[in-house]
Structure 1
Amino acid sequence: MARKARVTAPPREQEAAILRAAAAEFTEAGVRQANMDAIATTAGVSRSTLYRRFPSKDNLLLALANDTFERGMADLERATEGLAPADAVVEAFTRGATMINEDPLLRRMVLEDSEIRGLTASLSSLFIDMVTERVAGTLREAGAQMPDHALRRAVEIHVRLVISYLEVPSSDESVHTPAGARALAAEFLAPMIH
């Protein structure tokens, strides 16, 4: 395999190239088998550049998880823009379930790779808080009228429910489809938001 030319791009572009290469490597090989040298080569950076930006595989994985989280949240926010609060809940839940099922990296991170989940589990409480705050803010912008504490509590229940469904999938296969996720959210989650 021919070696790619080294990148002499600005640090931000190098970091983006490293994250793209890491996404491909972690998706293909998983955490344990992922090779930092392969990531550097694919990104077109030296090993020293890679390790200067990300001192370990765990640091790189956490940066990738954060980048994936930010992109996913931005997608959910765009998808719910202009919707009423209850409709936004349904759309976000459906879109989130679809993203996790269809995006190979998200699927590996959330459902398949126990090592990734083991590493990110230490951040679960922080993750739940971050998602809760972002979603509650989005729902408030969509017109949710309930008090802040009640909105945050309802959203936290939604987030914890999503995590539970992902970690221990339902035996009801209909819930695994976008239409099933939409029906579940419309019947049980949307009524919690007003």
Structure 2
Amino acid sequence: MSAGPMVSASGRKIRNTASPRDQEDAIVDAAAAEFTEFGVRRASIDDIARRAQVSRSTLYRRFPNRESLLLAVATRLYLRGMRQLENAMVGLTPKEAVAEAFAVGAALIASDPLMHRLVVDDEEMRSVISSSVTAMFIDAVTDRTVATLRSLGATRADDELREVVELMIRLIISLLEVPSGDPETREPEYVRGYATRYFAPMVW
């Protein structure tokens, strides 16, 4: 059951007088909680508004439909995940960084309920995010990963390094969308070994 609206001692609803930016953050927080618990289609817009302590009309001014709300949630999840991956790669060689990034990514998917639902469990949630958005996501991750590997000393030509990184990202998306029946293959240590054997040699 979602949290109800905050009320005063007299029973009157307390309005959210936060700035538009703070309201947006509260809405995205609330949507993330609803999507984690119920998925995209079953999530209640009214309950998201109540969690965020905003009116339904305020929510729709910020996010005109649930697809735009899911995109905001997924974007925040992506940015947080990329920061963790980049931090994990600091001080490593390019080859070590590739293996570590895959291991940390596997751990994030395993430990974060919303990320696990978005990437692995909820086909309906993935279907809401269009192929064009997925392509934009791949481009963004590729750009940041190439920049990180370059900062760690990767010397492969720019166009080749970008092709290699994009290939790795597309492969891992494919593996996540159609996972092996063996749960061990999703464990971070297995993923680290897999990436060390097959992906790391592609980077220099």
**TM-score, scaled relative to structure 2:** 0.91
State which of 103, 121, 126 in structure 2 corresponds to 1:117.
126
Q: Over aligned residue pairs, what C-alpha RMSD do you find? A: 1.3
Which sections of structure 2, spanning at least 5 residues, go unmatched? 7-13
Q: Tell me the residue number matched to 1:26.
A: 35
Measured in 1, the distance between the counterparts of 2:68 and 2:164 equals 32
Could you tell me whether the CA contact under 8 Å between 2:4 and 2:51 is conserved in 1?
Answer: no
State which of 87, 99, 121 in structure 1 corresponds to 2:108.
99
Which sections of structure 1, spanning at least 5 residues, go unmatched? none
- Offset of residue 172 of structure 1: 4.2
Q: Does 1:54 align with 2:63?
A: yes
Measured in 2, the distance between the counterparts of 1:104 and 1:2 equals 23
- Offset of residue 171 of structure 1: 3.5
Q: Tell me the residue number matched to 1:193.
A: 203
- Secondary structure in structure 2 of the residue aligned to 1:31: coil
- Offset of residue 107 of structure 1: 0.7
Measured in 1, the distance between the counterparts of 2:95 and 2:130 equals 29
- Count of residue pairs the alignment pairs up: 194
- After superposition, the Cα gap between the structure-2 partners of 1:130 and 1:68, relative to the gap in structure 1 and judged at 3 Å, is same
**1:114-161 CA-partner distances (Å, limit 9, x unpaired):** 221112242222221111111111111111011001110110111011
- Offset of residue 2 of structure 1: 4.4
The equivalences for 1:13-92 within 5 A come to 13-92=22-101
- Offset of residue 47 of structure 1: 1.1
Of the structure 1 ranges 61-70 and 169-178, higher mean CA displacement relative to structure 2 is found in: 169-178
Measured in 1, the distance between the counterparts of 2:83 and 2:156 equals 24
Q: Tell me the residue number matched to 1:167.
A: 177
Tell me which amino acid in the other structure corresponds to 2:5. R
Could you tell me whether the CA contact under 8 Å between 2:88 and 2:101 is conserved in 1?
Answer: yes
- After superposition, the Cα gap between the structure-2 partners of 1:163 and 1:121, relative to the gap in structure 1 and judged at 3 Å, is farther
Measured in 1, the distance between the counterparts of 2:17 and 2:107 equals 37
**1:87-112 CA-partner distances (Å, limit 9, x unpaired):** 11111111111111211000111111
- The structure carrying a bigger helix percent of its residues is 1
**TM-score, scaled relative to structure 1:** 0.95
- Secondary structure in structure 2 of the residue aligned to 1:9: coil
Tell me which amino acid in the other structure corresponds to 1:154. V
- After superposition, the Cα gap between the structure-2 partners of 1:55 and 1:121, relative to the gap in structure 1 and judged at 3 Å, is closer
Q: Does 1:180 align with 2:199?
A: no
Percent identity (aligned): 51
Could you tell me whether the CA contact under 8 Å between 2:67 and 2:129 is conserved in 1?
Answer: no
Tell me which amino acid in the other structure corresponds to 2:154. A
**1:47-83 CA-partner distances (Å, limit 9, x unpaired):** 1111110011111111111111111111111111221
Measured in 2, the distance between the counterparts of 1:101 and 1:118 equals 21
